Amino acid sequence: MKQITKKISHSESTTQIACVKWFRMQYKDYAKLLFAIPNGRVRDIKTGRWLKLEGVVSGVPDLMLAVPKGKYASLFIEMKSFTGRQTDAQKEMEGWLTLYGNKYVICRSFNEFKSCIENYLQA
């Protein structure tokens, strides 16, 4: 069976898990407002087509914090390994999301994620 979409690196996934766990412990009032958008898993063609019909869009970031702060409607977070690069679809989505008043960040480590969250929530 043919596979579609990209594989998520183990380190990227492990970092994201640690980040979400920390966030939910640190910010209990917002715990359920940070959620994953699982677009980037390897899937068979049939499942990929079904998800696309349901509204999956290429390039959507890994996490969304649905909390407006300062001038931003919400925060979108793309998790990347230290060597990972945005795809063209991710760059395009970044443009659309920021155009419509959202903050978009790329986080490559737990410390970077923590800093981005703290800065965003203090706005």
For 22-49, the pLDDT digits (tens) are 999 999 999 999 999 987 666 788 888 8
Hey, what domains does the chain have and what are their CATH numbers? 3-121 (3.40.1350.10)
**Amino acid 77: pLDDT:** 98
| Whether the predicted pLDDT of 18 surpasses 70 | yes
- SS3 state at 105: strand
Q: Is residue 27 within 8 Å of 118, Cβ to Cβ?
A: no
Higher-confidence residue: 77 or 47? 77
Question: How far is the C-alpha of 95 from the C-alpha of 90, rounded, in Å?
Answer: 9
> For residue 41, what pLDDT is reported?
65
pTM over 0.85: yes
**How many angstroms separate the CA atoms of 46 and 123, rounded?**
43
Beta carbons within 10 angstroms of residue 1's beta carbon: 7
